[in-house]
Amino acid sequence: MEQVMRDFFLFLSKNRGLTKVAKKYGLRFGAGRFVAGETVDKAVQVIQQLNSKGLDVTIDYLGEFVDNAKEANEMADNSILAIEAIGKNNLGSQLSLKMTSMGLDISEQLVMDNMRRILEAAKRNGVFVTIDMEDFSRCAKTIEIFKKLREEYDNIGTVIQAYLYRTEEDIKDLNQYSPNLRLVKGAYKESPKVAFPEKKDVDDNFKKIIKMHLLNGNYTAIASHDEAIIDYTKKLVEEHNIPYDQFEFQMLYGIRPERQLELVEEGYRMRVYVPYGTDWYGYFMRRLAERPANVAFVLKGVLKK
């Protein structure tokens, strides 16, 4: 049943019509738990609250189905506004963004132009930028773009997904760039031809790449709500005397907030992924797909209205 629900919500996340409806009616039916708000000012307020509790942040201006240059340029403009808000308010925050929102499905030149604008603004404001990973069809292109930009900028990282068969080789290949990587399990529905279909295999590969990247001496963000992965990382760090400033844990805004604070109290760096914007629907559906408990929370919210 859990897999059926996951597939159902992933299917809904790709529906353009429902995305338009969601934009029209705003953050309702529980989405506000996972999305900071529709404006950068709302996001700043949330970041300030999180920073006051010792939590670091990465902010993401949400965007789905960008299919023309005008929209891609507007997405880049909004990312720059977010960077400037981070600098102006002296926030403990980075920036995350997707290559499709920068025009990946339109042209690579458009992406590169937008990314250079963003990275220059980020450099001026002392902000680190992470390129989020999307579905398998865009994985190779995203990594190639990261490599090109990494040769020009040192304030950029990207994301690697444990559920893909190619991931171990990607970790080996990227090591020459001394990359700052966020390691995740993966949140898209993929074919068993390209991704491990069984959870145990994904978990095993996740542990493998965490160990590889940390022992390579590179900065590692372990993005997981899974206690087994968190415990594995803690033991690995102690066993190999890995300094605490070489890694961090990351979780999503609205998920396991109590555990986030516990990790801070234990002395670990904890970063919260904070999305905002009007185009929240696809992100919200993927969060519902990940955990059935999220669906129950939303239903409770709807029944109270």
Q: What is the pLDDT of residues 81-121, one digit of tens each?
A: 999 999 999 999 999 999 999 999 999 999 999 999 999 99
Q: What is the mean pLDDT of the chain?
A: 87
pLDDT number for residue 188? 83
Higher local confidence (pLDDT), 68 or 11: 68
Higher local confidence (pLDDT), 226 or 292: 226
Per DSSP, 53 falls in state: T
pLDDT number for residue 215? 98
pLDDT number for residue 22? 45
Q: Is 79 helix (H, G, I), strand (E, B) or coil?
A: helix
Please work out, in degrees rounded to the nearest 5, the angle formed at the alpha carbon of residue 221 by the alpha carbons of 218 and 227.
130
Cβ–Cβ under 8 Å, residues 189 and 10: yes
Cβ–Cβ under 8 Å, residues 288 and 9: yes
Cβ–Cβ under 8 Å, residues 229 and 207: yes
Q: What do you get for the CA distance between the two ends of the chain, in Å?
A: 27
| Mean of pLDDT values over 229-234 | 98
As a whole number of angstroms, the distance between CA 129 and CA 122 comes to 7
Structure tokens belonging to residue 152: 């020009």
Q: Which domains does the chain have, with CATH numbers?
A: 36-279 (3.20.20.220)
pLDDT band at 303 (very low <50, low <70, confident <90, very high): very low
What length does the chain have?
Answer: 305
Structure tokens belonging to residue 229: 């992965």
Q: E strands of the chain, at which residues?
A: 56-61, 93-98, 129-132, 156-161, 181-184, 220-223, 247-252, 270-276
- pTM beyond 0.75, yes or no: yes
**What share of the chain has pLDDT > 70, as a percent?**
80
The total of other beta-carbon atoms located within 10 Å of residue 208's CB is: 14
Residue with tokens 């398998």: 136
Residue 37 pLDDT greater than 90, yes or no: no
Q: Which residues are catalytic?
A: 132, 182
pLDDT band at 292 (very low <50, low <70, confident <90, very high): low
pLDDT number for residue 254? 85
Q: What is the pLDDT of residues 232-264, one digit of tens each?
A: 999 999 999 999 999 999 998 988 999 999 999
Q: What is the pLDDT of residues 117-133, one digit of tens each?
A: 999 999 999 999 999 99
